[in-house]
Amino acid sequence: GLPLPSQNNTTLTYYCNALAAWYASLTLAAVLHLTNALPLHLLTQEAGPLLTVCVLVADATALVAYVSAFVARREHRMSGNHVYDFFMGAWLNPRVGQFDLKFFCETRVAWIWLFCL
């Protein structure tokens, strides 16, 4: 990635494995469907409960990311209004080791789930 002024112009490493992850996800979905372990029609039949769980997990993840920004002293451009700062994001690039949480949640989980629906 590009140098980040907020992190002393360091660059973040991203692994470009989207194609491999996409085919692995499709293969896993096909295997689960064909073995009847998780038929794909259940995603539409159980959409309400699944989406409720997704929203609760997303809210919990956002809260953990917001609080961890303060704990790790990684907050950036805070306005002082906690509601505004929560929705705008306190930590620009939340990571656990090399694992980018924001990238994973915005792309991998959301788009694969949408495709399966």
What b/e readout covers 42-57, taking b as 16+ CB neighbours within 10 angstroms?
A: eeeeeeeeeeeeeeee
Does residue 34 have a pLDDT over 90? yes
The predicted-structure confidence for 48-64, as pLDDT tens digits, reads as follows 998 899 889 989 988 98
Rounded distance, CA 13 to CA 97, Å? 11
Q: Is the pTM of this model over 0.85?
A: no
**Using CA atoms, how far apart are residues 116 and 25, in angstroms rounded to an integer?**
10
How far is residue 80's CA from residue 98's CA, in Å, rounded to a whole number? 29
* Mean pLDDT along residues 22-37: 94
